[in-house]
Copies of this chain bind each other. A is one copy, B any other.
């Protein structure tokens, strides 16, 4: 026996495993998908999975990274329309993020389980998620600076403050209690506030 199923490369095998994992994780969550099921899905023994991923958590993390990448690609696409001012970009980004989070929650029955499992087991993934979203936000903030329409002392701190203010719009517990319309309205008001500020303008 030289190679798994018709001479696939390691990366191809890893991808096959991840594809199977993605389906099961999204539908059944972390705890309720078994390594043996993934093995069966890709047609190998359970023990052989460990030649491609060091653990179940390792698979989950790879799955999360794939989700993050997909999400970021989708959001970048929304932001590429060149007509947007920095204000428009910020609004598009914030609303896109909300829409994405909301959709995931309702399209994939077990995505919440998955998030909980990953948050508990891997603070690294929590950091990666924040860093990914923050880096896009910082591009928008910088654009605002360059357009001379925003005044920002510290891009990082401001970005983190904004992300902190968005927690309600990315946390399943809070999203579950409101409709998308309600969330969008609230986010819209918050964005206006962040952009304009409370202080009167002369």
Flag if A186 contacts B199 (CB, 8 Å): no
Flag if A148 contacts B200 (CB, 8 Å): yes
Chain B residues with CB below 8 A from A196, complex form: 197, 199
Q: What is the distance, in angstroms, from A167's C-beta to the closest C-beta of chain B?
A: 4
Q: What is the distance, in angstroms, from A49's C-beta to the closest C-beta of chain B?
A: 31
Produce 1/0 per residue, A119-159, CB < 8 A to B.
00001000000000000000001001000111110000110
Copies of the polypeptide in the assembly? 2
Flag if A197 contacts B193 (CB, 8 Å): yes
Does A65 interact with chain B (Cβ within 8 Å)? no
A151-B200 in contact given A164-B168, A165-B165 (Cβ < 8 Å): yes
Does A80 interact with chain B (Cβ within 8 Å)? no
Does A174 interact with chain B (Cβ within 8 Å)? yes
Q: What is the distance, in angstroms, from A163's C-beta to the closest C-beta of chain B?
A: 9
Closest to A160 in B: B186
- Describe A's contact surface by its main secondary structure: helix
Flag if B161 contacts A198 (CB, 8 Å): no
Chain B residues with CB below 8 A from A199, complex form: 149-151, 195-197, 201
> Footprint of B on A, CB under 8 Å?
123, 141, 144, 148-152, 157-158, 160-162, 164-169, 171, 174, 177, 186-187, 189-190, 192-202
29 A-B pairs in the complex with CB atoms less than 8 angstroms apart: A123-B177, A150-B199, A151-B199, A151-B200, A151-B201, A152-B198, A158-B189, A158-B193, A158-B198, A161-B186, A161-B189, A161-B192, A161-B193, A162-B193, A164-B186, A164-B190, A165-B166, A165-B193, A167-B167, A167-B174, A193-B197, A194-B197, A194-B198, A195-B197, A196-B197, A196-B199, A197-B198, A197-B199, A201-B201
